[in-house]
Homo-oligomer: A and B are copies of this chain.
Amino acid sequence: MKASHTDTVRDSGRKPTLSDVARVAGVSYATADRVINDRGNVAQKSVRKVHDAMAALGYVRNVAAANLSRQRTYRLAFLLPKGRNAFFSRVRAHLDNLVEHLIADQVSVDVIEIDAFEVAGLKNSLLSIADAAYDGVAVVGLQTAEIAEPLKALRERGTVIVSLVSDLPVDYRAAYIGINNIAAGRTAGRLLGLSHAGRAGRVQMVAGSLEARDHEDRLHGFREVINEDYPNIELLEPVMTRDDAGKVGAVVQQALDAAPDVTAVYNVGAGNSGLVATLEHCTRPELFFCIVHELVPHTHKALLNKHVDLVIDQRPDVEVNRALTILKALIDGRDIPPMQDLVPTIYVRDNLPSHIPDTTLTETQRS
C-alpha cells in the first residue's frame, strides 16, 4: 500500500497544493479556493476547470493549514450527569489526563454537569449552552422527544452533536458513541450460561431503572440468551434499585435469603458496592456466579477477591477518545474515519489493567 496516489500526478515529489490546482485550471487562487470550499459565486465554467484540475492532480486539502489560517480552535463541551458516580468520574478523569494534549491540538473542552436522568435538567443545559457557540458537544443522552427543540436549535447554530454512552433520538445527533447494550446483555447471558455447564440455576437480575435504555437493553439481551440456550436456568424478575448501593445490597441479601438456591446474580446497573458488601458476609452456594458492569475501584477489588466473577466494562477512556476524534472530523467537515464497533471489555481477574481506573470518589456508579 502506498498512501500517495502518485500514479495520477506528474510526480513532482510533493503533494499538489491549491496553487497547483489554480495554475492547472487557469484561474486565480481565490477562485480555486471558492470552488473547493463551495463558497459559490463562481462561473460554471470555472467550477468545471477547477474540478478537472483537482482530479488530474489528486488534490487533497490540507486541513491543518486551513485550520491554522482560520485560527480554528475546537470548542467542545461534554454534558455529563452530575453527582458522585464512579463511571462518569472515569470519564472526567480521562478528560483531565488529556488536557495538555488537547490544548496543544487547539481543543478546549468544558465539562457541563446535568441533573442525572432528568429530562428537564438536560433540556435546560442544552438551552443554556446555545449562547456559548460550541463547535461540538457530546451528550449523555436520553430518549425523549422533549429535547428535540433545543437539539435542533443547537444544530442550526452550527454545533455538531454526538451522543455518548446513552443515545439521543437518532435524528438529532450525528453519531452515537457507546456500546451495543443488547449485545452486552447477551454476552453476560452467554458467559453465565457457560458457567453453569448444564447445571440448573436460578439468577437474580438487578437493574437501576427500566426507564434507562441501557439497563433495559441489557436485561433484554440477557433474557434472550438464557431463554434460548439455557432452559435449565431460571430467571427471577429484576429488582429495581435506582442504582442505590444500599438498595442493591438489600435486594441481593433478600434474594439469597428467600431463595437459597440462587446460583447467580447479574446487575445491569450500578450500586455494586452494596452488592459486594452483601456477598462479603453471606454464605452462598458453591460455584455462585456474579456479573456486574463497569470497572471501578470496588468492582476491581471484588474481582480480585472473588466476590465478583466478571465485569463487563465500557472503557470510558476509549469512548472519550473516539468522541473527540469524531467531533473533530465532523467539525472539520471531513467524513468519519473508518471505525469498528465498540465492544464491551470483559474483565476476569486475570486481565485487569495494571493501574486502577482513575477516580477517587465514592460512588453511585451508573452505566
Contact = CB atoms under 8 A, between A and B. Distances in A.
Interface of A: 1-5, 14-15, 60-65, 67-68, 71, 73, 92, 94-111, 180, 183-184, 186-187, 189-191, 194-199, 221, 225, 286-287, 309, 315, 317-318, 334, 337-338, 340-341, 343-351, 353-354
Given A184-B351, A225-B350, A3 B107 contact: yes
A344 B340 contact: no
Contacts of A346: 346
Contact of A68 (B60, B68, B104, B349): B68
Given A3-B102, A353-B343, A65 B68 contact: yes
Contacts of A73: 15
Contact of A343 (B63, B106, B109, B345): B345
5 contacts: A3-B99, A4-B103, A63-B104, A341-B353, A343-B351
B338 A109 contact: no
A195 B194 contact: yes
A110 B4 CA distance: 10
Given A190-B350, A346-B346, 9 more contacts: A1-B110, A3-B103, A3-B108, A60-B100, A63-B104, A64-B67, A180-B351, A195-B197, A317-B338
A46 B83 CA distance: 48
A338 B98 contact: yes
Nearest to A348: B190
